[in-house]
Amino acid sequence: MRWFNFFSEAKAKIELYGNIVIYEEIVSFGGIEFKAIIEEFKYLFEVGISNIDKMAVVTDKKWIGKIVGAEDKIFKSIDMKAFSTEEKDNAIEFLKNA
């Protein structure tokens, strides 16, 4: 369970550092990208959003970018941006400036 490990590690980082940034890559794996979005929402509601400063989502799917844009409006305290797979370096720079 990859997501379980991610959630556990994120919670541990929050306990250690207080606030975190999240880098997430979602590429085509035949339906798994939708599950990733659902799991992300579960995480945000379970752990809370107050400890997340920024989130960069790198994806090859334009529709996921639109969802990230909507999430950015819903979760106003988190600065969320979507980046294309060619923009990975920009995503990392975005997170470094937290």
- The confidence band for 47, taking pLDDT boundaries of 50, 70 and 90, is low
- The confidence band for 3, taking pLDDT boundaries of 50, 70 and 90, is very low
78: left (phi over 0), alpha (psi -120 to 50) or beta: beta
As given in the structure block, the two tokens for residue 84 are 């294309």
**How does DSSP classify residue 76?**
T
- The confidence band for 1, taking pLDDT boundaries of 50, 70 and 90, is very low
